Amino acid sequence: MTVLTRCAATCAAVSLLAIAACAPRPSAAVAAAPEADWPYYGGDAGGQRYSSAAQITPANVAGLKVAWTYSTGELARNGAEIEHAAFENTPILAEGRLYVCSQFNLAAALDPGTGREIWRHDPKVDPTVRYPNDNVCRGVTFWRDPEAPAGAACAARVFLPTVDRRLIALDAATGAPCPGFGKGGTVDVGLGVLLERKGQMQITSPPVVVNGVVVVGSSIDDNQRVEEISGVVRAYDARTGAPRWAFDPLAGAGPGVKAGAANVWAPMSADPARGLVFLPTSSASPDFFGGLRPGNNGMANSVVAVDAATGQPRWSFQTTHHDVWDYDVPAQPTLGDVAYGGRATPAVIQATKQGLIFTLARETGAPVIPVEERRVPQGGAPGEPLSPTQPFPTAPRPLSPMEIAPEDAYGLTPWDRGACRRLIEGARREGIYTPPSLQGTILYPFTGGGMNWGGLAFDAGRQVVYVNTSSALHLVTLIPADKVKATQQAEMDTEVSAQRGAPYGMKREVLRSPLGLPCNPPPWGQLHAVDMRTGKVLWEVPLGTTRDLAPGSQLLLGDIGVPGFGGPIATASGLVFIGAAMDNYLRAFDGATGRELWKGRLPAGGQATPMTYVWKGRQYVVIAAGGHGKSGTKPGDQVVAFALPGPLRP
């Protein structure tokens, strides 16, 4: 007898009211909501990651269900190579279509209500090339040409960046390359750049378009040599692909400096009204020895505001002086009016790997929240001209721990903890900005953050920033140049890089216990809320569990918080959505309290930033679930959309 048959028999023996109670209940109606797009990678041109959508609320978010899923097909096409990829894409919704890009740069347009594929374009990148930051496409960029007739081909276009350094313009209506852009729809961003190997330079983040100019950065392999290729940011005519300008952050680094990189690998943001593009620049090469690049290295490790029409810098603010810690600026600069101290100021809010948040005036780059130059540890490797001070904002306080002592070592058993204690004891550890050494130096936060490319979400109405951090220890050891090759051969499972041309190579490793857990105390991942009117931290909670990292360990460790990649988004109803953590969940938090209200299981790792939109009255929350190769999370190729079930009512 089936469940329904048993139910009917039981109900027949009792009252009519009981029969009604046994009958299947229809889903509750959901009030239709006003339409809301997500037309940029960061929600808006300034990267606030905030949506006016409010159909999903703290009161009903527990009812979210999977509405549709879409597979890019990459798992079947590139199954063997997907372990060297990261599905970090944030889709965008513009003019009634959802646009996504896969790990291997396949672009597709989807129906926002069903996930049905409308078109796809495969640029046919070589999946076997090994890229330093894996195969990644964080997003595409939508642009409508205000001078083109509405129905003309390529009047609206999607700009697709590729890991093999191409910028492709696609017709947003059909997915066909725009023939008038570059050569057959493609500009070779790497044209004229002399590469030692194919994977040395790639594009991982979406370009920005301002007043008909499309601007694109690049990602460059770290720690390979002193005189690395340049981190030039390039701009092209958005209609024709003709070069417009090039900006080199190291152009003013001073005489005698031998270095390259200082590239812009993270997402950029734009202020079209002011005609500005905001660049988060990385460190000069190589990361862990700067003896051949004395000084503060120009506009490396900086937020740089450039004129979108000319590429001329308007201002720059450096977050790390003479970087020898790989503390590049990793996240999209976020634009918003900040009411610190009771006065609203158009600002740039910048998250950093150090767990610091800098708040700068958008017009000038001057700190809105004061910044102090503080003394930091000295005594670098021979020939290393360290900066005596580093900048620290007075608020908010650092969101990541910066110091560790042997007695802080973490472990599940005395044996485990003792092993970590000995590792910490044997390293140089004087707090943040302790310079790399031959002894081995602890970098805390590690080079993955603090904050990373997921950036932050800013609810300007509530004046609250939401941001996630990761916490782990890196041990960086300098190796005399003549011993690098032998170290590489002896430690093949450890990252060892030559830093060719420098007197030292380097070895970088995460400090873990014999059981594989981080040697620093948890939480290893957190979500924070900061009141930007005062700079005070409102709350912080662990983010993520070890369920998918070490099955069975969650029962012992609980919701301990784990490292992650990807960032949060905020909505008008007061919700914060985030994946990121190294378990297979999308979560919703109460923005007022930090309480976790819901989590939805994903088919693979959700190391991406979600987005949300309202389509035909229904709000959807969408995330790429495909894992992160370097983190070892479960690979996949699905885009998953959640929504409240039930019929819509006006």
Q: Which residues are catalytic?
A: 326
> Residue 70 and residue 82: Cα distance in Å, rounded?
17
The DSSP code for 554 is H
Q: Compute φ and ψ for 359, nearest 5 degrees.
A: -120, 115
- The secondary structure of the chain in percent helix, strand, coil, rounded to multiples of 5, reads 10, 35, 55
Count CA atoms closer than 13 A to 151's CA, side-chain side: 0
> Residue 240 and residue 185: Cα distance in Å, rounded?
9
Strand order in the sheet with 65-71: 65-71, 638-643, 618-625, 611-615
Cα-Cα-Cα-Cα dihedral sign, residues 480, 485, 487, 488: positive
Which residues have a Cβ under 8 Å from the Cβ of 583 and sit 6 or more positions away? 544, 545, 546, 547, 548, 549, 562, 605
Token reading at 469:
């951090």
Which residues have a Cβ under 8 Å from the Cβ of 380 and sit 6 or more positions away? 324, 386, 435, 436, 437
Q: Of the candidates 240, 179, 176, which has an alpha carbon nearest to the alpha carbon of residue 214?
A: 240
Token reading at 220:
């460059």
Q: Are 249 and 299 in contact (CB under 8 A)?
A: yes
Cα-Cα-Cα-Cα dihedral sign, residues 141, 150, 619, 35: positive
Q: Of the candidates 477, 540, 480, 547, which has an alpha carbon nearest to the alpha carbon of residue 511?
A: 477
Residue corresponding to tokens 């812009």: 264
Residue corresponding to tokens 């100021």: 345
Which residues have a Cβ under 8 Å from the Cβ of 99 and sit 6 or more positions away? 91, 92, 93, 107, 108, 109, 110, 140, 142, 158, 172
Token reading at 207:
């370009």
Which regions of 481-584 does DSSP assign to beta strands (E)?
A: 495-497, 504-510, 525-531, 536-542, 568-571, 575-578
